[in-house]
Amino acid sequence: MRTLKLAAAALAVAVAAPAFAQDAPPAAPVETGPTAPDGSRAFGIEPYVGVMGGWEQFDNERNHGIPQALNANGSLRNNYRLAGALVQGVAGINVPLGPVFVGAEGSVAKGVSGNIDWEYGAAGRFGVRAGDSGMFYGKVGYQWVDFDKFPAYTTGNRNDKNYGAITYGIGTEFGPKDIGLKGITGNAGFRIRAEVNTFGNFHSLRPMLGVITHF
């Protein structure tokens, strides 16, 4: 008889359990941490590399911009081209901070026309995040320029073909969502970058366009 009573109690519990589960309140959602407006993680570190191409035009005026390209007799050398096309490689990191980000970047560029030989630079970036993978930013840093076979000129008592100054720029990056790109800390993918930089006290203009890949 005792065995029969225990079996009946077990059967009652088994029948009541599903009904109790249906009446129980739903589980609280799992917290995933803060997110940016585009739905990606608000904080993290994003390394990236990229290739860009563009054009830079330096001033060639007395007491303005880089030293003038002069002939041996001191006359202006008009056929020396302080402008030309560039191919540039960049590498850096972004650090998202919610809807904004900061970062650092290094770059190396090679002149492929004119008398710009090599350029080297390092800059900090800061800006806002937009949409699924976009950003708008400003940057400031330092840039060194090597000119190819710079003719003689007088700057104090030294002749040199290398010149350095602070550089400033603004730009934007964006990427198509249909290739799996989501946010600057989301899935790896490509972004298009367009930016404009200047050298020194607005002594050059350098528009650039390229592709950035992050991972």
Per-residue pLDDT, 177: 64
Per-residue pLDDT, 146: 87
- Asked if pLDDT for residue 7 goes beyond 70, the answer is no
d(CA 180, CA 166) in angstroms, rounded, equals: 37
Residue 26 lies in a domain: no
pLDDT band of 19, cuts 50, 70, 90: very low
Residue 6 lies in a domain: no
Residue 107 lies in a domain: yes
Residue 196 lies in a domain: yes
Q: Which of 49, 130, 141, 51 minimizes the C-alpha distance to 96?
A: 130
Residue 122 lies in a domain: yes
Answering whether pTM is above 0.75, one says no
Per-residue pLDDT, 6: 44
Domain CATH number, residue 143: 2.40.160.20
- Mean residue pLDDT of the chain comes to 76
Residue 10 lies in a domain: no
Residue 1 lies in a domain: no
How many domains would you assign to the chain? 1
**CA 205 to each of CA 9, 178, 198: distance values in angstroms, whole numbers, following the listed order:** 86, 34, 5
Cα 104–chain centre separation: 8
> What domain range includes position 70?
46-214
Of 10-19, 69-78, 79-88, 157-166, the least confident? 10-19
Residue 193 lies in a domain: yes
Per-residue pLDDT, 73: 75
Per-residue pLDDT, 132: 66
- Asked if pLDDT for residue 24 goes beyond 70, the answer is no
Most confident of 53-67, 80-94, 148-162: 80-94
